[in-house]
Amino acid sequence: MKKKYKICGLAGYSYKDVGLKSNEVDNDSIYSYDKLTKLLHYKHERCDVFVEGYEIFAGFSVIGQDYLGNKNLKYFIIPKIGKQPFHMMISKNFKYGKELQQIINEGINDLKQSGQLDQLFKKNNLIY
């Protein structure tokens, strides 16, 4: 991919987990996913592709930014990349932070025990 395409990414992000060195990713002055997708959409000849987790864009669709539904963008799984960690952060100042963390953890455990988590990952061709 890095030999054939111009790769862009978000400023400040590391892409070493997907096998890309910092000098192989153009992320100068790219501070938002909106700008990142526009660089692809409007063919500025700066970017051909960018690398990001499917879950990030699925989350955006929940808040009304449906990047996955954009017919001018396509996404695919990069083969031969190992399992990627996913982290969720909750503010220490959030009054119900501990309770929210417990609800999330219990929900994930329930999905695992019921087999639904496996089904979700298989349906979306994801691994965990």
Mean pLDDT by 10 residues, the chain (128 residues): 87 88 91 88 79 85 87 81 77 94 94 88 64
What sign does the CA torsion over 69, 73, 78, 79 have? Answer: positive
- According to the model, what pLDDT value does residue 59 have? 86
Burial of 78 (0-12, 13-18, 19+ CB in 10 A): exposed
- According to the model, what pLDDT value does residue 91 have? 92
- According to the model, what pLDDT value does residue 127 have? 54
Domain of 110? 88-128
- According to the model, what pLDDT value does residue 128 have? 53
- According to the model, what pLDDT value does residue 78 have? 79
- According to the model, what pLDDT value does residue 126 have? 59
- The Cβ of residue 11 has, within 10 Å, a number of other Cβ atoms equal to 13
Last residue of a domain, one of 45, 62, 79: 62
**Is the domain of 58 the same as that of 12?**
yes
**Is the domain of 57 the same as that of 93?**
no
- According to the model, what pLDDT value does residue 88 have? 82
Provide φ and ψ at 9, rounded to 5°.
Answer: -160, 180
**Is the domain of 57 the same as that of 92?**
no
Number of domains in the chain: 2
- According to the model, what pLDDT value does residue 114 have? 95
- According to the model, what pLDDT value does residue 8 have? 92
- According to the model, what pLDDT value does residue 104 have? 93
Gap between the Cα atoms of 77 and 111, Å rounded: 23
The answer to whether 15 and 25 have CB atoms below 8 angstroms apart is yes
